[in-house]
């Protein structure tokens, strides 16, 4: 048994045809493969992303993706590793290969000095709990678009030239939160690439807006207009001190247009405070789970578990 890194081209050629029905969304297999390779060759991909496989002799019996991120918790910066696209081919299921693979990955992460591991579980959270992961608050917020306050905003569709302004907005919100994923320039490029790919989009039309005040970006929202759900699905939003108190709510209302609802993951605490009360319920998919690898990771998990006013991260951070 051995854990081995898979070249991106090999992963795309041999693994993606098996997983396309699960994670390709509306992309063709060719698009799915090409975009996966593009991400692997990006600055973030070369530094912080791997595709991995578990081999039993000469047979590859399971695979997953490895994502490295940095987490800010109070005054500390923690090394985090995320596991995504955990997959076992049908003919090898029920033999414990996925458990062995992830246990080996946790050992490897610990050896490399990581503080915490994380993933988003769509099915069988207990499987990951048995490996030492704890389920963390994972909730969804629904607002009535028509009940959100209206405000006259200087709106524009998001374009590449706006990304520096987005980063300022994001950092403003992150500084007001006790624990959050940090975003380096390479992480921002990775996010921009994923948005361009619409890799997580299974319905609707990508709809991203910025709002300006006195010529400077003061707020933004990333999301999807989904008429089939009668909703605007937000992935994240950000703001600066230039934004008015009601700017975010008004921006979400404008993004919804004639759609009836605004839906998204419950925002982190500082961002949640900008929105009115709405329907909050537990998510049944994309449940955030974390496993401690060192003492700082245990403290982070304990702090996130206590959070009643918002979730740890944005849907944009989903892997």
Tell me the pLDDT tens digit for each residue of 21-33: 999 988 999 999 9
**Rounded mean pLDDT, 285-313:** 96
The share of the chain scoring above pLDDT 90, in percent, equals 94
**Rounded mean pLDDT, 223-247:** 96
pLDDT of residue 202: 76
* Side-chain half-sphere CA neighbours of 69 within 13 A: 23
Taking every pair of Cα atoms in the chain, the longest distance, rounded to a whole number of angstroms, is 64
**Rounded mean pLDDT, 267-287:** 96
* pLDDT tens-digit map of 138-191: 999 999 999 999 999 999 999 999 999 999 999 999 999 999 999 999 999 999
Q: Taking a C-beta distance cutoff of 8 angstroms, is the pair 120, 288 a contact?
A: yes
Q: The pTM is what?
A: 0.95
- Between the alpha carbon of residue 165 and those of residues 126, 161, 169, 209, 240, the distances in Å are 41, 8, 6, 12, 9
Query: In three state form, how does the secondary structure of 158-221 look?
Result: CCHHHHHHHHHHHHHHHHCCCEEECCCHHHHHHHHHHHHHCCCCCCCEEEEEEEEECCEEEEEE
Domains of the chain: 2-138+283-317 (3.40.630.30), 141-281 (3.40.630.30)
Q: From edge to edge, which strands make up the β-sheet containing 216-226?
A: 154-157, 205-213, 216-226, 231-239, 261-265, 139-144, 279-282
Q: Is 286 exposed, middle or buried (0-12, 13-18, 19+ CB in 10 A)?
A: middle
User: What length is written for the chain?
Assistant: 319
Q: For the chain, give percent helix, strand, coil, nearest 5.
A: 40, 35, 30
Please name every residue paired with 56 in a beta bridge, in sequence order, or none if there are none.
Answer: 59
Distance CA 97, CA 88 (A): 8
- By C-alpha distance, which of 29, 91, 100 is closest to 64? 100
**Rounded mean pLDDT, 226-236:** 97
**Residue 226 DSSP symbol:** E
Decide if pLDDT at 9 tops 80.
yes
Distance CA 278, CA 139 (A): 12
- By C-alpha distance, which of 52, 43, 54, 41 is closest to 1? 54
Decide if pLDDT at 201 tops 90.
no
Distance CA 241, CA 201 (A): 31
Distance CA 240, CA 220 (A): 10
Q: Taking a C-beta distance cutoff of 8 angstroms, is the pair 212, 218 a contact?
A: yes
The share of the chain scoring above pLDDT 70, in percent, equals 99
CB atoms under 10 Å from CB of 185, counted, come to: 11
The chain-wide mean pLDDT, for the chain, equals 96
pLDDT of residue 200: 64
DSSP string, 256-283: HTT-SEEEEEPPPHHHHTTS---EEEE-
Structure tokens at 53: 């496989």
């Amino acid at each position: 048994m051995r854990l081995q890194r898979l070249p991106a081209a090999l992963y795309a050629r041999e693994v993606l045809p098996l997983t396309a029905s699960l994670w390709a969304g509306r992309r063709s297999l060719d698009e799915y493969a090409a975009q996966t390779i593009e991400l692997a060759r990006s600055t973030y991909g070369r530094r912080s992303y791997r595709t991995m496989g578990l081999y039993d002799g000469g047979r590859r019996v399971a695979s997953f993706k490895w994502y490295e991120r940095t987490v800010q918790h109070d005054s500390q910066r923690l090394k985090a590793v995320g596991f995504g696209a955990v997959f076992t081919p049908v003919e090898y299921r029920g033999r414990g290969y996925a458990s062995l693979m992830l246990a080996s990955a946790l050992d490897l992460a610990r050896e490399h000095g990581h503080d915490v591991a994380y993933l988003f579980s769509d099915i069988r959270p207990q499987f990951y709990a048995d490996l030492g992961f704890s389920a963390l608050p994972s909730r969804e917020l629904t607002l009535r678009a028509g009940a959100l306050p209206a405000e006259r905003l200087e709106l524009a569709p998001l374009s590449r030239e706006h990304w520096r302004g987005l980063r300022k907005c994001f950092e403003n919100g992150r500084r007001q939160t006790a624990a959050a994923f940090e975003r380096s320039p390479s992480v921002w490029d990775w996010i921009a690439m994923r948005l361009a790919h619409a890799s997580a989009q299974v319905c609707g039309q990508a709809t991203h807006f910025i709002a300006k005040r006195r010529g400077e970006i003061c707020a933004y929202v990333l999301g999807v207009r989904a008429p089939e759900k009668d909703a605007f699905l937000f992935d994240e939003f950000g703001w600066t001190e230039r934004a008015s108190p009601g700017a975010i709510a008004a921006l979400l209302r404008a993004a919804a247009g004639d759609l009836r609802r605004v839906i998204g993951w419950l925002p982190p605490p500082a961002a949640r405070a900008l929105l009115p009360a709405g329907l909050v319920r537990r998510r049944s998919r994309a449940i955030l789970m974390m496993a401690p690898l060192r003492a700082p990771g245990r403290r982070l998990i304990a702090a996130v578990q206590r959070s009643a006013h918002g979730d740890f991260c944005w849907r944009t951070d989903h892997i």
